[in-house]
A and B are shown apart, each in its own frame.
Chain A
Amino acid sequence: MAALLEVKNLGISFGGLRAVDDFQVSINKGQLYGLIGPNGAGKTTVFNLLTGVYKPSEGVITLDSHNITGLKTVEINKAGIARTFQNIRLFKELSVIDNVKAGLHNHFKYSTLEGILRMPSYFKTEKAMNERAMELLKVFELDMEADYLAANLPYGKQRKLEIARALATEPKLLLLDEPAAGMNPNETKELMDTIRFVRDNFDMTILLIEHDMKLVSGICEELTVLNFGRILAQGPTGKVLNDPQVITAYLGE
């Protein structure tokens, strides 16, 4: 079976700086894949390349045997990649449920005119959207806060809401950029359960960037370690984390 995400020879330069060089990865459907490395190694740049924020200087990205290299962010999302951000990017002035409903944008449609004139399809679609959004919020235990402004949620819940919003776009591949950043050990543990739950129940493939080694070793099946934009090691989690090169470059003796 072909891999869900197949990246070959991906690279990008910013001026003279080679941010990512010869990056390749192959992620199978249903896999939980980790991307780790020291600060400035190019992890988030890889995410930005995968989601079309940056155009790769070279390389090919294939999702589900479609070539998505160089497409725009919006098209890549429609093709099936959704992401969260390292520095949370919620729609702060919208309610929690509206954040998720914004994520449902491309899956529940009615025309502008139907919306303004409040035709029956408006009520029907909005009702279906509400139901779907509440389902997603329940998964992340956010259903009680559905009417809160997103900005008023506590930090941990904001992270969860971002994942819920990304899932609302019905992606094939979910990219999580440091989902555990700023969380205490209890919250991190809870997050690990949530990530596993999402993988199992939504039939999701997940690629995540993380610094929390407990989380990485706890849930990731395979890892890629980046250092100075290049792949340092790649393979099953246990093997990679014991690689002496990885230990010197990132984990420390």
Chain B
Amino acid sequence: MKKLKINKNLKDNLITYGIIIIAYVIMQIMIKTGHVSSLMQGLLVPLCVYIILAVSLNLTVGILGELSLGHAGFMCVGAFTGAFFSKCMQDIITIDILRFVIAILIGAISAGIIGLLIGMPVLRLKGDYLAIVTLAFGEIIKNIINVLYIGKDSRGLHFSMKDSLSLGLDAEGTVIINGAQGITGTPKNSTFTIGVILIIITLFIVLNLIHSRDGRAIMSIRDNLIAAESIGINITKYKLMAFSISASLAGIAGVLYSHNLSSLMATPKNFGYNMSIMILVFVVLGGIGNIRGSIISAVILTLLPEVLRGLSNYRMLIYSIVLIVMMLFNWSPKLINLREKYSLKRLFKKPKEVQ
């Protein structure tokens, strides 16, 4: 019986990895045979970014049970630190993949540290209050980056919060982060393959964390804080752990995102409130706490607007109808019953087992 349970988790996880790998292989074959439009190919890396974001936010929302609306802010930290590193090191580390891996690590670590620093005061709050404060911090990160100027010359790095002139660079110095204009000329290292590898790493971290001692502690805090305290679980430590791991995974997504663009700017569209809400929509529609669901809903909701592009004006109408249908499909009690009645599992089972 005990063995059975571990195997069940393992089987569940393997199915999730399997879906990703099969989807990747199918996609690669379709690209090779020329069945994928260039528009669609351009969407593949953002798709990976969104999946990583959805999975990582599910760690905060679904597993820790705290509503965070600042996820795009952590992504922003990862994107800019990663891109900054790559830009600085472009001439020093010439092996693309090595530089990119280091950039990912730097992005993850810096987003994790910011997550930890923000988490310390913020995680004392609960529910709506936490959501509002994380929302504010997300915006603060974006706005700080918008006024940040960093330049490099022979004397080293220069920082300013005013404008690029006040950096006082040498004649041959270059401005790396140029305030609202962001970073331009980041090496385009992100590929679909790297994106998928990062998805699998993210899944590996999140799924293994959930099914470990720490994951149990995190989920026990979600289910009943007072009881968790009474059995000696350190609330602050595990809340911070979940929050900062979630932030650093968002940082990874940010690095992947920034290395897919030639010019990276912190606009409300990519790192603002809308982005955070969109990630939350992926998580909620896929099922809170359901990692595989997050992946599926991220894929559907990212591809849908593009697939429907031909319908021009009706595009957003259909998008919203799909949102509502998915919501009903996942949460309405009637439909849940119906789903169980006609589920594939049941159809494939032998009649004897059904009864």
Contacts and interface: CB of A to CB of B under 8 A. Distances in A.
Do A and B come together as binding partners?
yes
B38 interface: no
Interface in A128-153: 129-131, 134, 143, 146-147
Nearest to B214: A112
B222 A93 contact: yes
Contacts of A93: 219, 222-223, 289
Interface in A66-113: 73-74, 77-78, 82-83, 85, 89-95, 97-99, 101-103, 105-106, 108-110, 112
Given A93-B219, A98-B216, A82 B231 contact: yes
Nearest to A168: B231
Q: Which of A74, A90, A109, A131 has the most CB of B within 10 A?
A: A74
Interface stretch (B128-136, B204-212, B306-314): B204-212
B241 interface: yes
A94 B230 contact: no
A165 interface: yes
Q: Which of B208, B214, B224, B289 has the most CB of A within 10 A?
A: B224
Given A77-B230, A94-B223, A116 B209 contact: yes
A70 B235 CA distance: 18
Contact of A101 (B216, B228, B230, B234): B216
Nearest to B65: A93
A224 interface: no
A117 to B, nearest CB: 8
Contact of B216 (A102, A130, A134): A102
Given A93-B219, A108-B213, A115-B212, A85 B227 contact: yes
A149 B222 CA distance: 15
A93 to B, nearest CB: 5
A153 B214 CA distance: 24
B13 to A, nearest CB: 11
A82 B232 CA distance: 9
A105 B1 contact: no
B216 A94 contact: yes
A209 B35 CA distance: 71
A115 B213 contact: yes
B229 interface: yes
A110 B227 contact: no
Interface in B1-41: 1-2, 4-6
Interface in B216-245: 216-217, 219-220, 222-224, 226-235, 241
B169 to A, nearest CB: 42
A238 B109 CA distance: 65
A92 B223 contact: yes
Contacts of B212: 110, 112, 115-116, 122, 126
Nearest to B222: A93
A116 B224 contact: no
B209 A115 contact: yes
B205 A134 contact: no
A102 B217 contact: yes
Contacts of A85: 226-227, 230
B213 A125 contact: yes
Contact of B208 (A90, A118, A165): A118
* Interface size range of chain B in the complex: 20 to 34
A116 to B, nearest CB: 5
A169 B220 CA distance: 14
Contacts of A165: 227, 231
Given A108-B213, A109-B213, A90 B2 contact: no
* Interface size range of chain A in the complex: 35 or more
A106 B226 CA distance: 17
Given A89-B226, A89-B227, A97-B5, A112 B241 contact: yes
A77 B222 contact: no
Interface in A8-48: none
Interface in A192-233: none
A110 B213 CA distance: 8
A134 B2 contact: yes
A94 B230 CA distance: 17
Given A77-B230, A146-B1, A90 B213 contact: no
B257 to A, nearest CB: 24
Contact of B231 (A102, A126, A129): A102
Contacts of B233: 74, 102, 105
B5 A147 contact: yes
A140 B212 CA distance: 25
Interface string B41-62: 0000000000000000000000
B2 A130 contact: yes
Given A97-B5, A116-B209, A90 B224 contact: yes
Interface of A: 51, 53, 73-74, 77-78, 82-83, 85, 89-95, 97-99, 101-103, 105-106, 108-110, 112, 115-118, 122, 125-126, 129-131, 134, 143, 146-147, 165-166, 168-169
Given A51-B230, A92-B223, A147-B4, 10 more contacts: A74-B234, A78-B232, A82-B230, A94-B216, A103-B231, A105-B231, A109-B213, A146-B2, A165-B227, A166-B231
27 contacts: A73-B229, A78-B232, A82-B231, A85-B227, A89-B227, A90-B224, A90-B227, A91-B228, A94-B216, A97-B5, A98-B219, A99-B220, A102-B228, A102-B231, A103-B231, A105-B233, A110-B212, A112-B209, A115-B212, A115-B215, A118-B208, A126-B6, A131-B2, A146-B2, A147-B5, A168-B231, A169-B231
